Amino acid sequence: MSKRIFLSSPHMSGNEQSYIKEAFDTNWIAPLGANVDRFESEIATYAGSTCASAVSSGTAAIHLALDLLGVGQGDNVFCSTLTFIATANPILYLGAEPVFIDSDEESWNMSPLALEKALIEAKAEYKLPKAVLIVNLYGQSAKMDDLMTLCNAYGVPVIEDAAESLGASYKGKKSGTFGKFGVFSFNGNKIITTSGGGMLVSDDIEQIKRSRFLATQARDQAMHYQHSVVGYNYRMSNVLAGIGRAQLEVLDDRVIARRAVFERYAEALGEIDGLEFMPELENTFGNRWLTTLTLDPEKIELTPNNLIDALAEENIEARPVWKPLHLQPLFEGCKYCSHGENDDVSKRLFERGLCLPSGSNMTVEEQGRVIFLIKQQLRM
Ligand SMILES: *Cc1c(COP(=O)(O)O)cnc(C)c1O
Protein backbone atom coordinates (compact mmCIF):
# COMPACT_ATOMS: atom_id res chain seq x y z
CA MET A 1 0.00 0.00 0.00
CA SER A 2 1.28 3.48 -0.84
CA LYS A 3 1.94 5.93 1.97
CA ARG A 4 -1.27 7.54 3.18
CA ILE A 5 -2.05 10.99 1.83
CA PHE A 6 -4.03 12.99 4.37
CA LEU A 7 -6.61 15.66 3.73
CA SER A 8 -4.68 18.13 5.88
CA SER A 9 -2.04 17.01 8.33
CA PRO A 10 0.00 18.99 10.88
CA HIS A 11 3.05 20.66 9.39
CA MET A 12 5.61 21.65 12.01
CA SER A 13 8.21 24.34 11.35
CA GLY A 14 10.97 22.84 13.49
CA ASN A 15 11.00 25.78 15.88
CA GLU A 16 8.17 24.52 18.09
CA GLN A 17 10.47 22.65 20.49
CA SER A 18 12.38 25.79 21.45
CA TYR A 19 9.21 27.54 22.68
CA ILE A 20 8.05 24.37 24.41
CA LYS A 21 11.45 24.15 26.07
CA GLU A 22 11.02 27.71 27.33
CA ALA A 23 7.79 26.68 29.00
CA PHE A 24 9.52 23.71 30.63
CA ASP A 25 12.64 25.69 31.61
CA THR A 26 10.51 28.29 33.39
CA ASN A 27 8.13 25.61 34.73
CA TRP A 28 5.08 27.42 33.34
CA ILE A 29 3.23 24.20 32.60
CA ALA A 30 -0.15 25.84 33.06
CA PRO A 31 -2.94 27.59 31.18
CA LEU A 32 -1.04 30.87 31.54
CA GLY A 33 2.52 32.06 31.03
CA ALA A 34 4.80 33.93 28.65
CA ASN A 35 3.96 31.82 25.59
CA VAL A 36 0.25 32.49 26.04
CA ASP A 37 0.79 36.24 26.43
CA ARG A 38 3.12 36.39 23.45
CA PHE A 39 0.96 34.19 21.24
CA GLU A 40 -2.01 36.45 21.94
CA SER A 41 -0.17 39.62 21.05
CA GLU A 42 1.47 38.03 18.00
CA ILE A 43 -1.89 36.85 16.62
CA ALA A 44 -3.45 40.26 17.29
CA THR A 45 -0.58 41.94 15.46
CA TYR A 46 -0.75 39.50 12.58
CA ALA A 47 -4.51 39.91 12.14
CA GLY A 48 -4.48 43.64 12.77
CA SER A 49 -6.89 43.52 15.69
CA THR A 50 -6.34 45.31 19.00
CA CYS A 51 -6.24 42.26 21.23
CA ALA A 52 -6.72 38.52 21.46
CA SER A 53 -7.49 35.85 24.00
CA ALA A 54 -6.02 32.34 23.63
CA VAL A 55 -8.40 29.53 24.48
CA SER A 56 -8.60 25.74 24.38
CA SER A 57 -10.48 25.51 21.06
CA GLY A 58 -12.18 27.47 18.33
CA THR A 59 -15.48 26.16 19.66
CA ALA A 60 -14.68 27.67 23.08
CA ALA A 61 -13.91 31.01 21.41
CA ILE A 62 -17.31 30.98 19.66
CA HIS A 63 -19.01 30.08 22.94
CA LEU A 64 -17.30 33.00 24.72
CA ALA A 65 -18.11 35.45 21.90
CA LEU A 66 -21.80 34.54 22.05
CA ASP A 67 -21.78 34.79 25.85
CA LEU A 68 -20.08 38.20 25.72
CA LEU A 69 -22.81 39.42 23.38
CA GLY A 70 -25.38 38.40 25.95
CA VAL A 71 -26.85 35.50 24.01
CA GLY A 72 -29.08 33.44 26.26
CA GLN A 73 -32.19 31.33 26.61
CA GLY A 74 -34.70 31.90 23.84
CA ASP A 75 -32.56 34.33 21.82
CA ASN A 76 -32.06 33.89 18.09
CA VAL A 77 -28.64 33.69 16.46
CA PHE A 78 -28.25 33.78 12.67
CA CYS A 79 -25.62 31.36 11.44
CA SER A 80 -24.15 30.24 8.11
CA THR A 81 -25.64 26.84 7.29
CA LEU A 82 -22.76 25.49 5.21
CA THR A 83 -20.22 24.86 7.93
CA PHE A 84 -18.84 22.44 10.49
CA ILE A 85 -21.10 21.70 13.46
CA ALA A 86 -18.70 23.54 15.81
CA THR A 87 -19.96 26.89 14.52
CA ALA A 88 -23.47 26.28 15.85
CA ASN A 89 -23.06 23.99 18.87
CA PRO A 90 -22.28 26.91 21.23
CA ILE A 91 -25.63 28.50 20.27
CA LEU A 92 -27.25 25.45 21.86
CA TYR A 93 -24.91 25.55 24.90
CA LEU A 94 -26.47 28.93 25.71
CA GLY A 95 -30.04 27.78 25.18
CA ALA A 96 -30.47 30.01 22.14
CA GLU A 97 -31.96 29.08 18.77
CA PRO A 98 -30.06 29.10 15.51
CA VAL A 99 -31.59 30.43 12.31
CA PHE A 100 -29.60 29.08 9.39
CA ILE A 101 -28.72 31.23 6.40
CA ASP A 102 -27.98 29.79 2.96
CA SER A 103 -24.85 30.30 0.84
CA ASP A 104 -24.48 31.92 -2.55
CA GLU A 105 -22.72 30.43 -5.57
CA GLU A 106 -19.96 33.03 -5.82
CA SER A 107 -18.54 32.68 -2.33
CA TRP A 108 -20.12 29.44 -1.03
CA ASN A 109 -20.54 31.54 2.13
CA MET A 110 -23.49 33.40 3.66
CA SER A 111 -25.73 34.83 0.95
CA PRO A 112 -26.37 38.56 1.51
CA LEU A 113 -29.72 38.02 -0.22
CA ALA A 114 -30.76 35.31 2.21
CA LEU A 115 -29.46 37.30 5.18
CA GLU A 116 -31.48 40.35 4.15
CA LYS A 117 -34.65 38.27 3.79
CA ALA A 118 -34.09 36.75 7.22
CA LEU A 119 -33.44 40.16 8.82
CA ILE A 120 -36.57 41.70 7.28
CA GLU A 121 -38.65 38.79 8.52
CA ALA A 122 -37.08 38.86 11.99
CA LYS A 123 -37.66 42.58 12.33
CA ALA A 124 -41.32 42.20 11.35
CA GLU A 125 -41.65 39.59 14.09
CA TYR A 126 -39.80 41.78 16.64
CA LYS A 127 -37.21 39.05 16.98
CA LEU A 128 -33.96 40.35 15.57
CA PRO A 129 -31.03 38.01 16.31
CA LYS A 130 -28.60 38.74 19.13
CA ALA A 131 -25.72 37.98 16.77
CA VAL A 132 -24.89 36.87 13.24
CA LEU A 133 -22.25 34.15 12.95
CA ILE A 134 -20.54 34.39 9.57
CA VAL A 135 -18.25 31.57 8.43
CA ASN A 136 -15.38 31.87 5.95
CA LEU A 137 -15.49 28.40 4.49
CA TYR A 138 -12.37 26.51 3.43
CA GLY A 139 -10.36 29.73 3.67
CA GLN A 140 -12.59 31.81 1.41
CA SER A 141 -13.92 35.10 2.80
CA ALA A 142 -17.64 35.68 2.80
CA LYS A 143 -18.94 38.83 1.10
CA MET A 144 -18.06 40.87 4.17
CA ASP A 145 -18.91 44.32 2.76
CA ASP A 146 -22.48 43.35 1.90
CA LEU A 147 -22.98 41.29 5.04
CA MET A 148 -21.55 43.96 7.38
CA THR A 149 -23.65 46.68 5.76
CA LEU A 150 -26.79 44.65 6.43
CA CYS A 151 -25.84 43.77 10.00
CA ASN A 152 -24.90 47.36 10.79
CA ALA A 153 -28.18 48.63 9.30
CA TYR A 154 -30.10 46.34 11.65
CA GLY A 155 -27.75 46.94 14.57
CA VAL A 156 -26.84 43.27 14.97
CA PRO A 157 -23.27 42.40 16.03
CA VAL A 158 -21.21 39.99 13.94
CA ILE A 159 -19.00 37.12 15.01
CA GLU A 160 -16.68 35.98 12.25
CA ASP A 161 -15.90 32.27 12.36
CA ALA A 162 -12.48 32.43 10.73
CA ALA A 163 -11.47 28.99 12.01
CA GLU A 164 -10.67 27.91 8.45
CA SER A 165 -9.51 31.26 7.07
CA LEU A 166 -6.57 32.35 9.20
CA GLY A 167 -4.14 34.13 6.85
CA ALA A 168 -6.79 34.99 4.27
CA SER A 169 -7.80 38.56 3.53
CA TYR A 170 -10.72 40.45 2.07
CA LYS A 171 -9.95 43.71 0.26
CA GLY A 172 -6.61 43.83 2.03
CA LYS A 173 -8.09 43.36 5.53
CA LYS A 174 -7.35 40.14 7.37
CA SER A 175 -10.06 37.55 7.77
CA GLY A 176 -11.46 37.48 11.30
CA THR A 177 -11.33 41.24 11.89
CA PHE A 178 -14.61 42.41 10.39
CA GLY A 179 -17.10 41.75 13.14
CA LYS A 180 -17.22 42.54 16.83
CA PHE A 181 -15.36 39.28 17.40
CA GLY A 182 -13.27 36.98 15.25
CA VAL A 183 -12.51 33.34 15.96
CA PHE A 184 -9.52 31.23 14.90
CA SER A 185 -8.87 27.53 15.44
CA PHE A 186 -5.60 25.66 15.84
CA ASN A 187 -7.05 22.17 15.67
CA GLY A 188 -4.82 19.47 14.22
CA ASN A 189 -6.13 19.77 10.67
CA LYS A 190 -6.19 23.58 10.39
CA ILE A 191 -3.69 25.64 8.40
CA ILE A 192 -1.55 26.02 11.53
CA THR A 193 -2.04 23.98 14.67
CA THR A 194 -1.28 23.76 18.37
CA SER A 195 -2.74 20.21 18.33
CA GLY A 196 -5.87 21.86 19.71
CA GLY A 197 -6.62 25.46 20.54
CA GLY A 198 -8.38 28.62 19.53
CA MET A 199 -8.25 32.40 19.65
CA LEU A 200 -10.80 35.12 20.15
CA VAL A 201 -9.85 38.48 18.62
CA SER A 202 -11.50 41.88 18.95
CA ASP A 203 -10.83 45.61 19.01
CA ASP A 204 -12.74 45.83 22.28
CA ILE A 205 -10.17 45.52 25.05
CA GLU A 206 -12.77 45.39 27.82
CA GLN A 207 -14.58 42.50 26.17
CA ILE A 208 -11.35 40.56 25.65
CA LYS A 209 -10.49 41.12 29.31
CA ARG A 210 -13.92 39.80 30.20
CA SER A 211 -13.37 36.78 27.94
CA ARG A 212 -10.26 35.91 29.99
CA PHE A 213 -12.29 36.28 33.18
CA LEU A 214 -15.05 34.00 31.87
CA ALA A 215 -12.50 31.52 30.53
CA THR A 216 -10.92 31.11 33.99
CA GLN A 217 -14.07 30.19 35.94
CA ALA A 218 -15.26 33.81 36.31
CA ARG A 219 -13.59 34.34 39.64
CA ASP A 220 -14.47 37.64 41.32
CA GLN A 221 -11.74 39.92 42.71
CA ALA A 222 -11.67 38.59 46.24
CA MET A 223 -9.15 36.65 48.26
CA HIS A 224 -11.61 33.85 48.86
CA TYR A 225 -13.08 32.00 45.90
CA GLN A 226 -16.16 33.98 44.98
CA HIS A 227 -18.22 33.69 41.80
CA SER A 228 -21.19 35.73 40.58
CA VAL A 229 -21.63 34.46 37.03
CA VAL A 230 -21.12 31.17 35.19
CA GLY A 231 -17.57 30.71 33.97
CA TYR A 232 -15.64 28.14 31.97
CA ASN A 233 -12.24 26.50 32.00
CA TYR A 234 -11.22 27.53 28.52
CA ARG A 235 -7.70 29.00 28.68
CA MET A 236 -4.91 27.72 26.44
CA SER A 237 -1.98 25.76 27.85
CA ASN A 238 1.33 27.62 27.90
CA VAL A 239 2.98 24.55 26.34
CA LEU A 240 0.58 24.55 23.39
CA ALA A 241 0.86 28.33 22.98
CA GLY A 242 4.56 27.66 22.38
CA ILE A 243 3.66 25.44 19.42
CA GLY A 244 1.37 28.20 18.19
CA ARG A 245 4.10 30.84 18.28
CA ALA A 246 6.37 28.75 16.08
CA GLN A 247 3.49 27.89 13.75
CA LEU A 248 2.51 31.53 13.36
CA GLU A 249 6.03 32.32 12.14
CA VAL A 250 5.41 30.14 9.09
CA LEU A 251 1.71 30.91 8.51
CA ASP A 252 2.31 33.00 5.41
CA ASP A 253 4.46 30.19 3.94
CA ARG A 254 1.65 27.76 4.65
CA VAL A 255 -0.82 30.00 2.82
CA ILE A 256 1.51 30.14 -0.19
CA ALA A 257 1.91 26.36 -0.13
CA ARG A 258 -1.86 25.71 0.08
CA ARG A 259 -2.50 28.11 -2.75
CA ALA A 260 0.16 26.32 -4.81
CA VAL A 261 -1.60 23.01 -4.12
CA PHE A 262 -4.80 24.56 -5.42
CA GLU A 263 -3.03 25.95 -8.52
CA ARG A 264 -1.70 22.50 -9.40
CA TYR A 265 -5.16 20.94 -9.08
CA ALA A 266 -6.68 23.77 -11.12
CA GLU A 267 -4.09 23.38 -13.84
CA ALA A 268 -4.47 19.60 -14.07
CA LEU A 269 -8.26 19.35 -13.73
CA GLY A 270 -9.59 22.81 -14.56
CA GLU A 271 -10.50 21.95 -18.15
CA ILE A 272 -12.76 19.05 -17.25
CA ASP A 273 -16.32 19.82 -18.28
CA GLY A 274 -18.63 19.73 -15.27
CA LEU A 275 -15.86 20.01 -12.69
CA GLU A 276 -15.77 23.39 -10.92
CA PHE A 277 -13.49 24.62 -8.18
CA MET A 278 -14.70 26.80 -5.34
CA PRO A 279 -14.30 30.30 -6.75
CA GLU A 280 -12.22 33.06 -5.20
CA LEU A 281 -14.10 36.33 -4.79
CA GLU A 282 -12.66 39.37 -6.49
CA ASN A 283 -10.35 41.45 -4.28
CA THR A 284 -9.93 38.62 -1.84
CA PHE A 285 -6.99 36.41 -1.03
CA GLY A 286 -8.08 33.03 0.28
CA ASN A 287 -5.79 30.66 2.13
CA ARG A 288 -7.15 27.67 0.14
CA TRP A 289 -7.16 25.65 3.36
CA LEU A 290 -8.82 22.85 1.40
CA THR A 291 -9.11 22.65 -2.35
CA THR A 292 -12.79 22.08 -2.91
CA LEU A 293 -14.76 21.38 -6.06
CA THR A 294 -18.13 20.31 -7.39
CA LEU A 295 -19.09 17.67 -9.95
CA ASP A 296 -22.08 18.49 -12.13
CA PRO A 297 -24.23 15.32 -12.30
CA GLU A 298 -25.49 16.29 -15.75
CA LYS A 299 -22.00 16.19 -17.15
CA ILE A 300 -20.13 13.76 -14.91
CA GLU A 301 -21.51 10.36 -14.03
CA LEU A 302 -19.21 9.85 -11.08
CA THR A 303 -20.59 11.18 -7.77
CA PRO A 304 -18.40 12.85 -5.12
CA ASN A 305 -18.85 9.77 -2.92
CA ASN A 306 -17.70 7.48 -5.77
CA LEU A 307 -14.57 9.56 -6.10
CA ILE A 308 -13.95 9.68 -2.33
CA ASP A 309 -14.29 5.88 -2.19
CA ALA A 310 -11.96 5.36 -5.13
CA LEU A 311 -9.32 7.59 -3.55
CA ALA A 312 -9.77 5.83 -0.19
CA GLU A 313 -8.93 2.53 -1.88
CA GLU A 314 -5.58 4.05 -2.78
CA ASN A 315 -5.03 5.26 0.78
CA ILE A 316 -5.89 8.86 -0.06
CA GLU A 317 -8.14 10.90 2.21
CA ALA A 318 -10.76 13.09 0.56
CA ARG A 319 -14.08 14.08 2.06
CA PRO A 320 -17.48 15.55 1.26
CA VAL A 321 -18.31 19.21 1.67
CA TRP A 322 -19.82 19.95 5.12
CA LYS A 323 -23.39 18.77 5.39
CA PRO A 324 -25.44 21.97 5.81
CA LEU A 325 -26.62 22.45 9.38
CA HIS A 326 -30.27 22.97 8.40
CA LEU A 327 -30.18 19.36 7.10
CA GLN A 328 -28.69 17.94 10.31
CA PRO A 329 -30.94 15.81 12.53
CA LEU A 330 -29.71 17.86 15.51
CA PHE A 331 -31.29 20.99 14.06
CA GLU A 332 -34.51 19.51 12.77
CA GLY A 333 -37.26 22.10 12.97
CA CYS A 334 -34.90 25.09 13.11
CA LYS A 335 -35.58 28.05 10.87
CA TYR A 336 -33.74 28.29 7.57
CA CYS A 337 -33.58 31.01 4.96
CA SER A 338 -32.57 29.90 1.47
CA HIS A 339 -30.85 31.98 -1.19
CA GLY A 340 -33.69 31.77 -3.67
CA GLU A 341 -37.35 30.74 -3.58
CA ASN A 342 -36.56 27.24 -4.80
CA ASP A 343 -32.82 27.52 -4.72
CA ASP A 344 -31.10 25.78 -1.83
CA VAL A 345 -27.50 26.59 -2.75
CA SER A 346 -25.83 25.00 0.27
CA LYS A 347 -27.70 21.73 -0.29
CA ARG A 348 -26.56 21.65 -3.90
CA LEU A 349 -22.94 22.38 -2.94
CA PHE A 350 -23.15 19.56 -0.39
CA GLU A 351 -24.58 17.10 -2.91
CA ARG A 352 -22.01 17.92 -5.57
CA GLY A 353 -18.95 18.89 -3.58
CA LEU A 354 -15.81 17.29 -2.27
CA CYS A 355 -12.53 18.34 -0.64
CA LEU A 356 -9.20 17.08 -1.95
CA PRO A 357 -6.00 16.46 0.01
CA SER A 358 -4.53 19.93 0.50
CA GLY A 359 -1.81 19.74 3.13
CA SER A 360 1.07 22.21 2.89
CA ASN A 361 3.40 19.24 3.47
CA MET A 362 1.97 17.11 0.65
CA THR A 363 4.70 16.61 -1.94
CA VAL A 364 4.24 17.37 -5.65
CA GLU A 365 4.67 13.62 -6.29
CA GLU A 366 1.93 12.76 -3.83
CA GLN A 367 -0.36 15.31 -5.38
CA GLY A 368 0.50 13.86 -8.79
CA ARG A 369 -0.80 10.51 -7.55
CA VAL A 370 -4.08 12.12 -6.46
CA ILE A 371 -4.47 13.91 -9.79
CA PHE A 372 -3.66 10.75 -11.77
CA LEU A 373 -6.32 8.79 -9.90
CA ILE A 374 -8.96 11.49 -10.31
CA LYS A 375 -8.30 11.63 -14.06
CA GLN A 376 -8.46 7.84 -14.22
CA GLN A 377 -11.82 7.84 -12.42
CA LEU A 378 -13.15 10.51 -14.71
CA ARG A 379 -11.76 8.53 -17.68
CA MET A 380 -9.69 11.50 -18.81
C1 LIG B 1 -12.52 23.72 13.07
C2 LIG B 1 -13.69 24.62 13.03
C3 LIG B 1 -14.26 25.14 14.20
C4 LIG B 1 -13.92 24.67 15.59
O5 LIG B 1 -12.65 24.78 15.96
P6 LIG B 1 -12.08 23.78 17.09
O7 LIG B 1 -10.77 24.39 17.43
O8 LIG B 1 -11.96 22.44 16.45
O9 LIG B 1 -13.02 23.79 18.22
C10 LIG B 1 -15.28 26.06 14.08
N11 LIG B 1 -15.75 26.43 12.89
C12 LIG B 1 -15.24 25.94 11.75
C13 LIG B 1 -15.81 26.43 10.46
C14 LIG B 1 -14.21 25.01 11.78
O15 LIG B 1 -13.75 24.49 10.63
**Rounded CA gap, 189 and 100, in Å?**
25
Distance 62 CA to ligand 1 centre (A): 9
The per-residue pLDDT for range 295-329, each reduced to its tens digit, is: 999 999 999 999 999 999 999 999 999 999 999 99
The per-residue pLDDT for range 93-134, each reduced to its tens digit, is: 999 999 999 999 999 999 999 999 999 999 999 999 999 999
The set of residues, in sequence order, having a beta carbon less than 8 Å from that of 131 and lying 6+ positions away, is: 65, 66, 69, 71, 77, 78, 156, 157, 158, 159
325, burial (CB in 10 Å: exposed 0-12, middle 13-18, buried 19+): buried
Distance 97 CA to ligand 1 centre (A): 19
Distance 57 CA to ligand 1 centre (A): 8
Distance 21 CA to ligand 1 centre (A): 28
Residue 198 sits at φ, ψ, to 5 deg, of -155, 175
Task: Report, as an integer, the average pLDDT of 344-371.
Answer: 98
Residue among 43, 53, 84 to mutate when testing ligand 1 (max atoms within 8 A of CB): 84
Q: How confident is the model at residue 379 (pLDDT cuts 50, 70, 90)?
A: confident
Distance 214 CA to ligand 1 centre (A): 20
Q: How confident is the model at residue 287 (pLDDT cuts 50, 70, 90)?
A: very high
Residue closest by Cα to atom 5 of ligand 1: 58
The per-residue pLDDT for range 138-147, each reduced to its tens digit, is: 999 999 999 9
Domains of the chain (ranges, CATH numbers): 16-251 (3.40.640.10), 252-377 (3.90.1150.10)
The per-residue pLDDT for range 172-216, each reduced to its tens digit, is: 999 999 999 999 999 999 999 999 999 999 999 999 999 999 999
**Rounded CA gap, 163 and 185, in Å?**
5
**Rounded CA gap, 35 and 40, in Å?**
8
Q: b/e per residue, 265-304, with b = 16+ CB within 10 A? A: beebbeebeebbbbebbeebbbbbbbbbbbbeeeebebeb
- Biggest CA–CA distance in the chain, Å, is 72
pLDDT over 90 at 26, yes or no: yes
Q: H or E element: which one contains 135?
A: strand 131-135
| Pocket, ligand 1, Cβ cutoff 6 A | 57-59, 83-84, 86-87, 135, 161, 163-164, 185, 187, 198
Q: How confident is the model at residue 258 (pLDDT cuts 50, 70, 90)?
A: very high
Task: Report, as an integer, the average pLDDT of 329-343.
Answer: 95
**Helix pair angle (34-47, 238-249), 10° resolution:** 30
Confidence (pLDDT) at 48: 98
Q: Which atom of ligand 1 is nearest to the CA of 197?
A: 7
Beta strands in 136-187 (DSSP E): 158-161, 169-170, 173-174, 181-185
CB distance 59 to 90 below 8 Å: yes
**Single pTM value for the model:** 0.98
Cα dihedral 367, 370, 375, 379 in deg (nearest 10): 160
Confidence (pLDDT) at 189: 96
Q: Are strands 51-55 and 198-202 parallel, antiparallel or unpaired?
A: antiparallel
Q: How confident is the model at residue 2 (pLDDT cuts 50, 70, 90)?
A: confident
CA angle 69, 73, 76 (to 5 degrees): 65
